[in-house]
Amino acid sequence: MEKIRTLIEEIKKYNINLFGKDFLLTWDKTSDELKVVLIVAEVLKEMRNNNISPKVFDSGLAISNFRDNSTRTRFSFASACNLLGMGIQDLDEGKSQIAHGETVRETANMISFLSDVIGIRDDMFLGKGHTYMLEVAEALQDGFDQGVLPCRPSIVNLQCDIDHPTQSMADLLHLKNNFGSLENLKGKKIAMTWAYSPSYGKPLSVPQGIIGLMTRFGMHVELAHPEGYDLIPEVIELAKKNAEENGGSFSMSNSMEIAFKDADIVYPKSWAPYSVMEKRTDQLLNNDKEGLKILEKECLENNAKYKNWECDSLKMKVTKNGNALYMHCLPADISGVSCLQGEVAADVFDKYRIETYKEAGYKPYIIAAMILSSRFKDLAQTFGSVLNKNQNRIIN
């Protein structure tokens, strides 16, 4: 309880107000706003660990709209909403009137009469996912302004084509606790590198989320990938700008070994080249099945040229003291386990397996913190009211 109250006092030090604001991109938020979300997540985690009910909703609906497959994020969103006391309903577009041509504007309002939050995952189409979320946001605001909706539900980006904020923020909280504080992250080197995968078409949003966020906390961020596996140019420029403004650095190379050299943290993760994702998006939108087959064959053949881009024990030896923290958003392509050859050697992954599980375990609390911050004006007072109820999560 003492730790919880200390964290609540920390919230009071920040003069911020996230009420009524969506959480779409980390770089849309100030550093202080991000710090408060982290603290709120820690309060919720401590309450859950100490059997204190953090329910702040007596009713209300949380809508999830997953336009791509998901395990961790899907269950994290459901867990977060349940933790706060809301019911959860998944929007299956194939079973809704969307399949019959219902507009985004109409759908957004029809699902939101008694809803408090909408979580959206839309990472398949480059140039479309973030745009879709903005369209939903505009429709919700219009419904609220016109008196159709009793409140304006907040939107949480559960991964789009540009950013994966719930993942990168969970990663940041994992690093904060691993190294003791956000302050201790300053000067630490994180290697965000491409890694070989026997599949193609993996989104760009995880590496982009990492370089877009970690450069805001004084870290030395190095991005490495084979030639041609570029990310969205605007995000690269953002990372450079963030590094300049926050006392860190941002560099790029075409060598995993160079990136790993003296790194405190390594994050080897496969993604598809920016140019491929552009082409793939056009083919998906045009239902070009034959073109997609040809593109996949070409991309897998190109990936196969870089099978040496694997996080193995030899590469880990050149990291800081040979003991860098390995991170991954999961599921990782584990050589000899989930595939013949992949992103990470089995012995390396097994060494850090529990750490990656802990890393993933922060995501439900980050999502809950984003929701809570967007629905309550005075976070410290809200937590105070919950604690005063003295309600156990599990009644003994």
**What is the per-residue pLDDT across 17-48, written as a single tens digit (0 to 9) for each?**
999 999 999 999 999 999 999 999 999 999 99
What confidence tier does 395 reach under pLDDT thresholds 50, 70, 90?
A: confident
pLDDT at 153: 98
pLDDT over 90 at 1, yes or no? no
| Tokens (6 digits) for 263 | 């790194």
For 361, residues 6+ apart whose C-beta sits below 8 A from its C-beta are none
Domain boundaries, the chain: 2-163+363-389, 167-360
pLDDT over 70 at 231, yes or no? yes
pLDDT over 90 at 123, yes or no? yes
pLDDT over 80 at 185, yes or no? yes
pLDDT over 70 at 99, yes or no? no
**What is the per-residue pLDDT across 67-78, written as a single tens digit (0 to 9) for each?**
888 999 999 999
Average pLDDT over residues 165-186: 98
- In angstroms, what CA-CA distances link 302 with 29, 281, 297, 371? 37, 19, 9, 41
Separation of first and last alpha carbons in the chain: 18
pLDDT over 80 at 159, yes or no? yes
Query: Given this structure, which CATH class describes domain 2-163+363-389?
Result: alpha beta
What confidence tier does 316 reach under pLDDT thresholds 50, 70, 90?
A: very high
What confidence tier does 317 reach under pLDDT thresholds 50, 70, 90?
A: very high
pLDDT at 63: 97
| DSSP secondary structure letters along 267-287 | EE-----HHHHHHHHHHHHTT
Average pLDDT over residues 255-260: 98
Q: Do the first three CATH levels of 2-163+363-389 and 167-360 match, i.e. the same topology?
A: yes
pLDDT over 80 at 274, yes or no? yes
Q: Which residue has the tokens 């998901």?
A: 70
Nearest in space to 387 (alpha carbons), one of 47, 125, 62, 69: 47
| DSSP secondary structure letters along 199-256 | S----SHHHHHHHHHHGGGT-EEEEE--TT----HHHHHHHHHHHHHHT-EEEEES-H
pLDDT over 80 at 97, yes or no? no
pLDDT over 80 at 235, yes or no? yes
Domain 167-360 architecture: 3-Layer(aba) Sandwich (3.40)
pLDDT at 101: 73
pLDDT over 90 at 201, yes or no? no
What confidence tier does 303 reach under pLDDT thresholds 50, 70, 90?
A: very high
pLDDT at 100: 60
pTM over 0.75: yes
Average pLDDT over residues 54-70: 94
pLDDT over 90 at 390, yes or no? no
Amino acid sitting at position 93? E
